[in-house]
Amino acid sequence: MTATGGQLSARSYHWDHAHIRHGITPHYLDFEHYPLPAKSYLPAEIIPLETHDNQTGDTPASFAHLLSHAYGVTRVRRGQIPFYYRTVPSAGGLYPCHLYLSITAAADNAETGVYYYEPVRSGLVQLRQEKTGQNNPLQQLFAGERELADVRLLFIVTAAFYNSAWKYRARAYRYMLLDTGHLVRNITLNPLIRAFACNTAFDFDDGKVSDLLNLNSAAEVPLACVSVNWDKSVPDIVAQTVNHTRPCFPPVDDRSTEAAYLQDYPELRAIHSAGIPAAGQVPVPETAVTDDRPETVFSVVSESTRSLDEVPGPDLAGCMIRRRSRRNFITSPVTAGAYLQLFACLSPGRNLRDLVRDTGLRVGLVCRKLEGIDDGFYLFDRQVAVLHLMHRGNLAPMLASVCLDQAWIGQAAMNFLFFSDLAALDTARGPRGYREMMVAAGMLAQQIYLGAESLAMGCCGIGAMYDREAADLLGLSSHVALVYAVSAGPVKRR
């Protein structure tokens, strides 16, 4: 159950909650207490944000658009329980993540505002507004010597245990982390943010961040921060966002304080608590993903492709708004131009390269019908420039079988696979490394979603898998786990 020294490790948590065929105990899904899509701070006033008003994303870049493109509601499915579709996918559609921001004014009159982004009513709730004198209070949230004097804007992504545990119980932590990664990537790819130096940070003090946001730590925990060297003043930002004329989605019930929503999940608290101490600073050494040697190597870089960092802002915003999980894959061949462009979108980009390297996250591919490439299981090199063929043949139907028999996976032209050597991760970075690695996987997965959308392909995350069967199918080395997968490829368009 535990690693050396009695401390819960990434490896023990991950494998203790592996799915086993015929071993999943069904449990009651309490639809009376379906997880809420947003927190309610009633009666606090909400500062309405201008919501995106078309499906093209062809709107002026503003702070309001940044938030709605990052985590906004894109569509509502009415019914007994309304479902709020969002710009990011979420395991089970349960949306455990919450987004907060802290904005500090210029240092000579330092004033800090802390806000909750309320996606359903599309507004900001101000949680705090403090005069903080000369010091930038964001500095105190972080350990180490990092220079934060210019960080005026901080995004904080938290996740509520209840939302994911409602369905996934003790396995939920991995989904909370992956969901966090999807959201963080939508923030860091935003053109407004790309204009400033920004950093996805994990070296914050969980307790101080929880205090800043006034979180109930038994129910909701901070998982990642994005710090931005934003150089505009507080009033400019907030004034820009205020627009009282736009309609908002109807309010959700304020049931968030009911006992049913405050259940305790000891396994989730335990793995999260294990990751509260700072991560080790040592990068995870490069270990073998499988015990096999590659048969052939294919270069997959092309002059004519562009990474997501290079996609013009409005085009990217349009992809964020239109994105959905599409599973109706068809078995048409994929041209080299199309798959090379998708691989270029997977390239980690400047904000993510170090995190992927330090956490030792590796990416693989099960593909079929890609022009000029044999069907098979491949590993990408760290630069996503070269594919190493590990097994020849169409593995997609078998992958579908080990992913809880989700047949559509067998039809997808490309199944991207994320691997981690959990033993090496534990040794190099400790349990907080699990947090970093899973968030990094979610971030790369969001790039695949956006890249697929830009190419009019379908895409869907896969968190449901018989973990040991997946490792056996792919011949993974003993400590390596498949931690996430994403299908992509041509789909039937309605």
Ligand X SMILES: Cc1cc2nc3c(=O)[nH]c(=O)nc-3n(C[C@H](O)[C@H](O)[C@H](O)COP(=O)(O)O)c2cc1C
What does the binding site for ligand X look like in residue numbers (CB under 6 A)?
A: 85, 89-93, 175, 178-179, 182, 324-325, 327, 406, 460-464
For residues 95 and 115, which CB has a smaller minimum distance to ligand X in the complex? 95
The H or E element that residue 252 is part of is: none
In whole angstroms, what is the distance from residue 257 CA to residue 259 CA? Answer: 6
CB of 362 to ligand X, least distance (A): 18
CB of 223 to ligand X, least distance (A): 13
For residues 208 and 327, which CB has a smaller minimum distance to ligand X in the complex? 327
For residues 327 and 357, which CB has a smaller minimum distance to ligand X in the complex? 327
For residues 20 and 336, which CB has a smaller minimum distance to ligand X in the complex? 20
CB of 406 to ligand X, least distance (A): 6
CB of 230 to ligand X, least distance (A): 28
By CB neighbour count within 10 A (0-12 exposed, 13-18 middle, 19+ buried), where does 455 fall? buried
For residues 91 and 165, which CB has a smaller minimum distance to ligand X in the complex? 91
For residues 34 and 196, which CB has a smaller minimum distance to ligand X in the complex? 34
For residues 101 and 177, which CB has a smaller minimum distance to ligand X in the complex? 177
CB of 95 to ligand X, least distance (A): 8
For residues 154 and 396, which CB has a smaller minimum distance to ligand X in the complex? 396
CB of 322 to ligand X, least distance (A): 11
For residues 105 and 271, which CB has a smaller minimum distance to ligand X in the complex? 271
CB of 31 to ligand X, least distance (A): 16
At 157, give phi and psi (nearest 5°). -110, 125
For residues 199 and 325, which CB has a smaller minimum distance to ligand X in the complex? 325
CB of 354 to ligand X, least distance (A): 23
CB of 486 to ligand X, least distance (A): 9
10 Å Cβ neighbour count for 297? 12
CB of 166 to ligand X, least distance (A): 14
Q: Which 8-state DSSP code applies to residue 8?
A: -
10 Å Cβ neighbour count for 2? 13
377 three-class SS: strand
In whole angstroms, what is the distance from residue 175 CA to residue 184 CA? Answer: 14
Beta-bridge partner residues of 377? 366, 391
By CB neighbour count within 10 A (0-12 exposed, 13-18 middle, 19+ buried), where does 345 fall? buried
In whole angstroms, what is the distance from residue 187 CA to residue 343 CA? Answer: 21
- Which tokens belong to 106? 């210029």
DSSP codes, 40-71: --TTS-EEEBPPP-SSS--S---HHHHHHHHH
Residue nearest to ligand X (CB): 89
CB of 175 to ligand X, least distance (A): 5
- Which tokens belong to 92? 């089970």
**What are the distances in angstroms from CA 145 to CA 142, 209, 249, 480?**
9, 18, 43, 33
Q: Which of left, alpha, beta for 349 (phi over 0: left; psi -120 to 50: alpha)?
A: left
The sign one gets for the Cα dihedral 386, 390, 396, 401 is negative
Under a CB-based contact definition with an 8 Å cutoff, are residues 92 and 76 in contact? no
Under a CB-based contact definition with an 8 Å cutoff, are residues 284 and 428 in contact? yes
For residues 39 and 182, which CB has a smaller minimum distance to ligand X in the complex? 182
Q: Whole-angstrom distance between the N-terminal and C-terminal Cα of the chain?
A: 48
